[in-house]
C-alpha cells in the first residue's frame, strides 16, 4: 500500500484517479481548492477509510507525509483557465514549485499532469515528445500553455539539480463522465446541447480535427508512468491518436443521443489549433500502453452520465 497525494483530486481526471488508487489498495489524500472541482465527483469516496480530503490551494506551501504525488491541480478548459489567467499561471508555476518542494522534503516521486497544449498550434503532425512546440507567448491561451511549459521546466530542473524522481505526462484531450456540463470543452458541449435539443455549436467550418482519449485509458497510462522504473521520466504523450473532425464528432453525438439538434456554425476563437494528434509510440514502448476504448463506447458512457446529471 502506498500513500498518494492527488492535487486536483476533486476534478474530472483527479477523481477518477482517486477511484483507481483506492481500488488497488493505496491510501489517498485529495488536495483541492474547488476552483473547478466538485464535491459531487468525490462524495462517493468521503466515507472510504483510506480517503482523506484537504481543502487547500497549491499556490501555498504544503507540509504533509506522502510517498507519491500526482500533480493535477489546474483548471483545464479554456473557459475556466481564462477566467483568472494570472491565477492560472500561478497555479501552474507556484503549484509546481510547492509540490516539487514537498516531494523533495518527503523523498517522494512526483508526476506532473502536463498537456498537449505545450505543442501550441503545431507544424509537426502527429506530435512526438521531441517536438518543441509552436506556442504564442502572449495570447489568451498562454497563461495555461506557457504555465504548463514552465512547470515542465521546473520538473526537469528539480530532477537535474536535486535528483528528484519525476514523471512528466503530456495529456491529450480526454473525455468521460464527471466532465462539467458548462466547461466549453467540445465533447461535453456537444452532448449537453444534443440532450437539451439545442443547436450544436461548431467553431469554424468543423473540419479541424481532434483526438479524444477516454478517461479510463488515460488513468491507466498515468498509473503506468508513475509506477514505471525511475529512469522513465518522460515527457510521455498519453492520448488516443484516432482523429475525428468536429463534424464527425457532432454526427456521432447526434446519432447516439437520438437528438434532432441542428448545427450552429460560429467564428473560431483565438489561437485554436487546427489539428492535434499524439504520437504515442513512446507510451507503447516504455509503458506498454495503448488506448483500448473506442470513441463510440466512451461516448455511450459519457452520454449516460450527462443524461443522469441533467435529469437531477
Ligand X SMILES: NC(=O)c1ccc[n+]([C@@H]2O[C@H](COP(=O)([O-])OP(=O)(O)OC[C@H]3O[C@@H](n4cnc5c(N)ncnc54)[C@H](O)[C@@H]3O)[C@@H](O)[C@H]2O)c1
- Catalytic residue selected from 144, 158, 175, 214: 144
Give the whole-angstrom CA distance, residue 186 versus residue 163: 39
**Pseudo-torsion of CA 28, 32, 38, 40, nearest 10°?**
20
144 is catalytic: yes
Among 242, 235, 241, CA closest to 287: 235
Is residue 132 near ligand X by the rule CB under 6 A? no
**Interacting residue with ligand X among 3, 18, 51, 75 (CB under 6 A):** 75
The region of 3-11, 131-139, 255-263, 273-281 touching ligand X under the rule CB under 6 A is 3-11
Give the whole-angstrom CA distance, residue 133 versus residue 121: 7
Residue 66 Cα distances to 5, 16, 103, 248, 278, angstroms: 6, 19, 8, 44, 32
What size, in residues, is the chain? 312
**Interacting residue with ligand X among 32, 129, 146, 279 (CB under 6 A):** 32
CB of 143 to ligand X, least distance (A): 12
Give the whole-angstrom CA distance, residue 229 versus residue 244: 34
The region of 66-74, 120-128, 157-165, 263-271 touching ligand X under the rule CB under 6 A is 66-74
End-to-end CA distance of the chain: 37
Given a contact cutoff of 8 angstroms between Cβ atoms, the answer to whether 259 and 253 are in contact is yes
Our CB check for ligand X shows the closer of 10 and 108 to be 10
The region of 4-12, 241-249, 270-278, 286-294 touching ligand X under the rule CB under 6 A is 4-12
Q: Within 13 Å and on the Cβ side, how many CA atoms surround 209?
A: 13
Among 82, 47, 84, 59, CA closest to 7: 59
Is residue 76 near ligand X by the rule CB under 6 A? yes
Is residue 91 near ligand X by the rule CB under 6 A? yes
Among 72, 65, 3, 1, CA closest to 31: 72
C-alpha cell at 219: 488513468
Our CB check for ligand X shows the closer of 236 and 259 to be 236
Is residue 57 near ligand X by the rule CB under 6 A? yes
Residues in contact with ligand X, shown as a per-residue x/- string from 250 to 279 under the rule CB under 6 A: ------------------------------
The region of 73-81, 135-143, 241-249, 270-278 touching ligand X under the rule CB under 6 A is 73-81
Is residue 298 near ligand X by the rule CB under 6 A? no
CB of 80 to ligand X, least distance (A): 6
**Interacting residue with ligand X among 3, 6, 13, 192 (CB under 6 A):** 13
Which residues make up the interface to ligand X (CB under 6 A)? 7-8, 10-14, 32-37, 57-59, 72-76, 80, 91, 95, 113, 115, 171, 173-174
Amino acid at each position: 500500500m502506498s500513500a498518494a497525494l492527488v492535487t486536483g483530486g476533486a476534478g474530472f481526471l483527479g477523481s477518477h484517479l482517486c477511484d483507481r488508487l483506492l481500488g488497488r489498495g493505496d491510501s489517498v489524500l485529495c488536495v483541492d481548492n474547488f476552483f473547478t472541482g466538485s464535491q459531487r465527483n468525490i462524495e462517493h469516496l468521503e466515507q472510504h477509510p483510506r480517503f482523506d480530503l484537504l481543502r487547500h490551494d497549491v499556490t501555498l506551501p504544503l507540509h504533509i507525509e506522502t510517498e507519491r504525488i500526482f500533480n493535477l491541480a489546474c483548471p483545464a478548459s479554456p473557459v475556466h483557465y481564462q477566467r483568472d489567467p494570472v491565477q492560472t499561471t500561478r497555479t501552474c508555476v507556484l503549484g509546481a514549485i510547492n509540490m516539487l518542494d514537498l516531494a523533495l522534503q518527503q523523498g517522494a516521486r512526483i508526476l506532473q499532469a502536463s498537456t498537449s497544449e505545450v505543442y501550441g498550434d503545431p507544424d509537426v503532425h502527429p506530435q512526438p515528445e521531441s517536438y518543441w512546440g509552436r506556442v504564442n507567448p502572449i495570447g489568451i491561451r498562454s497563461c495555461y500553455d506557457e504555465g504548463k511549459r514552465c512547470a515542465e521546466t521546473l520538473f526537469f530542473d528539480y530532477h537535474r539539480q536535486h535528483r528528484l524522481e519525476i514523471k512528466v505526462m503530456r495529456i491529450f484531450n480526454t473525455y468521460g463522465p464527471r466532465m462539467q456540463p458548462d466547461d466549453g470543452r467540445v465533447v461535453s458541449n456537444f452532448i449537453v446541447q444534443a440532450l437539451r435539443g439545442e443547436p450544436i455549436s461548431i467553431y469554424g467550418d468543423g473540419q479541424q480535427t481532434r483526438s479524444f482519449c477516454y478517461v479510463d485509458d488515460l488513468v491507466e497510462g498515468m498509473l503506468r508512468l508513475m509506477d514505471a522504473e525511475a529512469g522513465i521520466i518522460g515527457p510521455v504523450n498519453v492520448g488516443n491518436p484516432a482523429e475525428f473532425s468536429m463534424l464527425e464528432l457532432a454526427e456521432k453525438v447526434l446519432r447516439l443521443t437520438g437528438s434532432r439538434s441542428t448545427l450552429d456554425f460560429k467564428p473560431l476563437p483565438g489561437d485554436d489549433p487546427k489539428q492535434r494528434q499524439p504520437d504515442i509510440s513512446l507510451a507503447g514502448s516504455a509503458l506498454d500502453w495503448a488506448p483500448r476504448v473506442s470513441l463510440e463506447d466512451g461516448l455511450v458512457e459519457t452520454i449516460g452520465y450527462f443524461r443522469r446529471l441533467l435529469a437531477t
